[in-house]
Amino acid sequence: MPKILIVGGGYAGFYTAWKLEKHLRRGEASVTLVDPLSYMTYQPFLPEVAAGSIQPRHVVVAFRRHLKKTRIVSARITAIDPEAKVATFTPQDGEPWQEEYDVLVVTAGSITRTFPIPGIADSAFGMKNIEEAVGIRDRLMGNFNRASNLHDSPLKRRLLNVTVVGGGFAGVEAIAELRSLSSYLVGKYPTIDFEETSFHLVEAMGRIMPEVSAKNAEWVVRDLEKRGVNVHLNAQLVGAEGGVIELATGEKFETDLLIWTAGVMAHPSAKGFGLPQDERGRIRANAALQVVTAEGAVVPGVWSAGDVAAVPDLSGSSPLPDKTCVPNAQHAVRQAKRLAKNLVAELRGEAPIDYNHKNAGAVAGLGLYNGVMQSGRFSLRGFPAWVAHRGYHGLAMPTWERKLRVVGDWAGNFFLKRELASLALGRPRAVFQEYALRPAARPRADEHATPTVADKAPTASVATAAAPAAPVAEKAPAKPRTRKPAAPKAE
């Protein structure tokens, strides 16, 4: 039975495995999905998680619940030998091991792209995973609690400042949702005025949201400014040390909540897979989602999709210089569905079909009851666009079980208003550690003992005392062992 190995459980990895379960016949192939996490995150909902509109657990899809015919391995693939068709699995605990495969699918996804700007690595949040969204919410709620006890002061203004760097969809949705939440919070804190809060969106280019028309992007800027957001265009961030934001324009202000959303890059792990890559670190693929060399020759039995892959955009709508598909959820999901069909077709001796998907448009939520949507020349703004945003992503959320949970959160917020509890999940043991009783310090055994003659006698010679201990032989590093995957259970 052919062994299919899927590396990475993001959009592309999850959907590939999900669709393979649907298309493969019983006994036709075995599927293994490898990811250090046990779930896939639906990233378009992260701004709403940060704003408290959706519960964090409801935007993740557990592999072991929804991929019932797939073997799930919680580990990282740290090396691949495409010639021998062997992959190295490295778990969080225990020794690495190796396994053979017949078909390889690389869907390692992407990470947040950063630059060596002082202060970014130490103080900024990303907006790429569920932990970051929860951390942003906890920081904002905690800052409101702290600021409520302060009179007008630099510290209070710093605590009530939110700065987002990056004017793409992720950045605009993040600042719009947090602005909406903060407007609601002000009404719950009598000692905080709306004018004391400040929000800044920093974009190095001359416009925001390149996915929509310039006219719609300008409308979004006006809408954000009307709601109290300072939009800085053509303003590059040059420093953020100690929470002091410095822009290339000379502007300077302080913040206690800095969010970085200025783009993504292919996951660095792909560099260790021994596969052809382009200058941006993406794995080269053809339109059929097969991995190819720089000359276009197909690498047998290797496929790739999603943010980690450089897939030609046959629709001709790509804004990228190399005319490849832009890294977004829309392409990742649709590429995964095509990849699964093509992989099964190849197993059955049939020809694969090229991925050719015209962009269906873009839709963004701009806080409660507000949004923007564009599909070709057709566009919506305000409440209708917000409805379109929730409708599109509600349907796009995988599995009906997850859809119902998300819709339930929306219904609860509509009737019961926003959830304002801050759980401080980043410090789960803080209270326990503060009050936990610790054993009393014990006196040393010789602390009260009467010195003996031997104690007073001179010690061994300096040469003897300084002699180093015999070296201990070091063990050779353990080599990855080869492990055979468990036989699949009979269905």
Domain containing residue 213: CATH number? 3.50.50.100
Is pLDDT above 50 for 468?
no
* pLDDT value, residue 318: 81
How confident is residue 441, by pLDDT bands cut at 50, 70 and 90? Answer: confident
Asked if 149 and 239 sit in the same domain, the reply is yes
Is pLDDT above 70 for 203?
yes
With beta carbons less than 8 A apart as the criterion, state whether 98 and 480 touch: yes
Asked if 145 and 200 sit in the same domain, the reply is yes
The pLDDT of 56-83, averaged and rounded, is: 95
Average the pLDDT over each of 94-103, 109-118, 356-365, 444-453 and give the range with the smallest value. Answer: 444-453
Is pLDDT above 90 for 443?
no
What SS3 class is residue 117?
A: coil
The pLDDT of 318-334, averaged and rounded, is: 89
How far apart, in whole angstroms, are the C-alpha atoms of residue 66 and residue 147? 43
The pLDDT of 213-235, averaged and rounded, is: 96
Q: Roughly how many angstroms between the first and final C-alpha of the chain, as a whole number?
A: 15
What SS3 class is residue 222?
A: helix
Asked if 276 and 328 sit in the same domain, the reply is yes
Read off the pLDDT of residues 282-294 as tens digits, 9 standing for 90 and up: 999 999 999 999 9
- Is 52 a domain residue? no
How high does pLDDT run on average in the chain?
89
Q: Which of 89-93, 268-272, 395-399 has the highest mean pLDDT?
A: 89-93
- Is 377 a domain residue? yes
**Which CATH number does the domain housing residue 325 bear?**
3.50.50.60
More confident residue, 320 or 155: 155
How far apart, in whole angstroms, are the C-alpha atoms of residue 235 and residue 238? 9
* pLDDT value, residue 41: 95
Asked if 251 and 371 sit in the same domain, the reply is yes
- Is 230 a domain residue? yes
- The total number of structural domains in the chain stands at 2
Read off the pLDDT of residues 128-145 as tens digits, 9 standing for 90 and up: 999 999 999 999 999 999
Of 302, 321, 347, which marks where a domain is finished?
A: 347
Of 323, 347, 371, which marks where a domain is finished?
A: 347
- Is 323 a domain residue? yes
What is the signed CA dihedral for 14, 19, 25, 26, rounded to 10 degrees? 30
- Is 137 a domain residue? yes
**Percentage of the chain exceeding pLDDT 70:** 89
- Is 473 a domain residue? no
The pLDDT of 379-384, averaged and rounded, is: 95
Asked if 98 and 124 sit in the same domain, the reply is no
* pLDDT value, residue 126: 95
Is pLDDT above 70 for 458?
no
Read off the pLDDT of residues 330-351 as tens digits, 9 standing for 90 and up: 899 999 999 999 999 999 999 9
With beta carbons less than 8 A apart as the criterion, state whether 38 and 75 touch: no
- Is 66 a domain residue? no
Is pLDDT above 80 for 436?
yes
How confident is residue 446, by pLDDT bands cut at 50, 70 and 90? Answer: low
* pLDDT value, residue 320: 84
Average the pLDDT over each of 79-83, 154-158, 425-429 and give the range with the smallest value. Answer: 425-429
- Is 427 a domain residue? no
Asked if 258 and 379 sit in the same domain, the reply is yes
Rg (CA), the chain: 27
Domain that includes residue 250, residue range: 120-262+362-416
Asked if 228 and 145 sit in the same domain, the reply is yes
What SS3 class is residue 313?
A: coil
How confident is residue 456, by pLDDT bands cut at 50, 70 and 90? Answer: very low
Asked if 125 and 142 sit in the same domain, the reply is yes
Contacts of 242 (CB under 8 A, 6+ apart): 119, 123
Asked if 88 and 125 sit in the same domain, the reply is no
How far apart, in whole angstroms, are the C-alpha atoms of residue 20 and residue 5? 12
How confident is residue 479, by pLDDT bands cut at 50, 70 and 90? Answer: low
Of 374, 391, 416, which marks where a domain is finished?
A: 416
Asked if 184 and 274 sit in the same domain, the reply is no
Is pLDDT above 50 for 178?
yes
Asked if 255 and 394 sit in the same domain, the reply is yes
* The total number of residues written for the chain in this structure: 491
Label residue 234 left, alpha or beta by phi (over 0 means left) and psi (-120 to 50 means alpha).
left
Asked if 271 and 257 sit in the same domain, the reply is no
